[in-house]
Structure 1
Amino acid sequence: MWLTRLWADGPNMACEACGLPVASRIDDCSLWQAVWLAPNAVRRFAVDNANAAPLSGAELMADGKGTPPFELIAEVVQRALDALLPAGPPAGRALLAGPGRPPPPRTPTSSSLPAHPQTGETWTPTNPATPAYLVPLPFGVWLWLAFLEPYLPIPAAGGMPNGFLRDDPPAPRTPHLFRAGPGTFQHALVRLPAVHSRWLREILENLTQHMRARLF
């Protein structure tokens, strides 16, 4: 395949065999590199072992690798949440459930469950006391949270430990607070089932005011 024109003008990658445009590649210096396949020009087909049975929970636990979630999530969203969410009852109780985890001692408000990396299906809890909200997580993120490994600031012996990132000197932090894009926030909000509730409508109606308060 080869580049033919800028990605913003449409597909810029062509099939090496037939020459038809099949994808758009983003390779600008200010954007993450990515390739987007044109759905009307390509199709999926099975490859070796594609029809094999999905791994069981025990097999995933044995072969899986944890994926650390974004460690600054509270710093990123807490300011906006504190300003937008209405006062309510005490915070609920969320637990991690899934293969290899003990059943909760009492019914939590919500549970985070792993999504199978092959099928995308959320693990089904066997505990009859199922909480009201089930939150699926990518399996790697769930595994990292459910079975935390000891963090080594320096290698105990030998070279750098697996997954250890080093930057000398540390990269400078931006002096500006993170702000979500108002358009992205609005698009996500209107897709929620509870968007017609009063407190969510008020957030949408006051979105311009929140932008002036530099929440977005």
Structure 2
Amino acid sequence: MGVFVCGRCDAVLTRPVERVALPVRARQTYGHDLLPALMESGTYAVDPEPSGPPWRPWREIGAEEAAARGVFAPVTALSFGEPGAVVVAPGDTRGTVLIPERCDGYCIGLDGRSGPNLACAHCGSAVATRVDDCSYWQAVWFVPDAVRRVPGEGPEQGVADWAALAREYQGAAPIESNGGWSARWEAAVGAALAHLLAVSAGARVALPDGVMADTFGRALDMLFPPGPTRKRAVLAGPGLPPAAADIAVVPRHPRTGEVWQPPGTAAAVPLEADVWLSMALPRVQLPVPVTGGMPEGVFRDDPLPPYPLRLFTPDRWVFLDTLARLPAVREPWLREIHDRFLDHPYGSPF
């Protein structure tokens, strides 16, 4: 465990937190509702890419300089700020105060448009940006060179191995209480879809019936021209029996970011662990608590399980952002898909 302290005066700015992988939804914007906290309480993540101003548009960067940054297709703009921003849940901060003149937002909260809006309460240094406006995951992003990590109280949790991941970690519910698909599912599938396209090498992909067809199927049908399927994709990972396939959709470890490697020659497509767990190893629970002698496997019929109000749609911007950072996007067929999405930002490609 560790805490983050002010780089100027050493005042404590967070509770003890431990490092986990940065979620793929970290830069996602979604609808016009309040989203929950990006990070679980007691955790932090580090963004390896530059963030914040100055920003440079694509026309000023060029393909060669962008490729050196790990971006292989046009994007609207790239940050040339400092890499290494640290993100925590808003409730995990300590000893910070708002900077009133920087508390701008689009709708009903702060979106960070004016730069760091949190200062160290002890010395007044600008140390972080709180984001809690509608459409954004609520988070506090610490400026990389304004804070430093020091040891904190509390034991480090051991990194769960893959078998423990399958047993102990909780999957993310696919449907929200209002009947909409989960934003984290749409982000996770959007990122995985980009990887799936890259390893398909342009061949149509067959999916098993069920949740994979429901989440990936329509998008693949729209992206590929009609024709025979030449590759097969399945869910694979800890706790699942081996299955022969060309492509394996596998979990990305929530702590380390490591991607589970399938045996054999199947190409691995990473999927966020909480979504993978719900797809691959759903845990059926009684909808209401019961006591007494109700036999195992017998369910009450109230309330009904949630069902989505619309067809599933992967997050297009997470898809595009991930695709632009895969070297395979330089292949003409995949670049055409990328550019088609980028050139029509307000359509509904899925």
Q: TM-score range by the shorter chain?
A: 0.5 to 0.7
The RMSD of aligned alpha carbons is 4.0
Contact 1:179 1:215 in 2 (8 A): no
Instruction: Specify the alignment match of 2:130 in structure 1.
Output: 25
Q: Which amino acid is 1:118 matched to?
A: R
Residue in 2 aligned with 1:3?
98
Give ranges in structure 2 of 5+ residues lacking alignment: 1-95, 104-111, 187-212, 292-302
Distance 1:196 1:83 in 2: 20
Residue 155 of structure 2 corresponds to 49
In the TM superposition, what is the alpha-carbon distance from 1:56 to its structure 2 partner?
2.5
> CA separation in 2, counterparts of 1:195 and 1:60?
32
Percent sequence identity is 41
- Residue in 1 that maps onto 2:208: none
In structure 2, the CA distance between the partners of 1:34 and 1:192, relative to structure 1 (3 Å rule), is same
TM-score of the two chains, using structure 1 as the length reference: 0.66
Do the aligned residues in 2 keep the contact of 1:67 with 1:140 (CA within 8 Å)? yes
Give CA deviations for 1:194-214 in whole Å, capped at 9, x if unaligned: 223232343456558756875
Inter-CA distance 211–103: structure 2 relative to 1 (3 Å threshold) = closer
Question: How far did 1:149 drift?
Answer: 2.5
C-alpha distance in 2 between matches for 1:184 and 1:56: 28
Asked if the contact 1:95/1:108 (under 8 Å) is kept, the reply is yes
2:140 is aligned with 1:35: yes
Contact 1:13 1:24 in 2 (8 A): yes
Counterpart amino acid of residue 138 in structure 1: E
Question: Which of the residues 245, 253, 256 maps onto 1:108?
Answer: 245
Contact 2:249 2:270 in 1 (8 A): yes
The answer to whether the Cα contact below 8 Å between 2:320 and 2:342 also exists between their aligned partners in 1 is no
Ranges in structure 1 where 5+ consecutive residues have no aligned partner: 159-166
Structure 1 residue 63 corresponds to structure 2 residue 168? yes
Counterpart CA distance in 2 for 1:143 and 1:92 is 23
| Partner SS state of residue 271, structure 2 | strand
Larger relative strand fraction: 2
Change (3 A) 1:46 1:90: farther
TM-score if structure 2 supplies the norm length? 0.45
Report deviation, 1:109: 1.5
Rg larger for:
1
Specify the code of the residue in structure 2 equivalent to 1:85: F
Aligned counterparts of 1:13 and 1:56: Cα–Cα separation in 2: 37
For residue 265 of structure 2, what is the amino acid of its counterpart?
Answer: T
Equivalent pair of 1:179/1:214 in contact (CA under 8 Å) = no
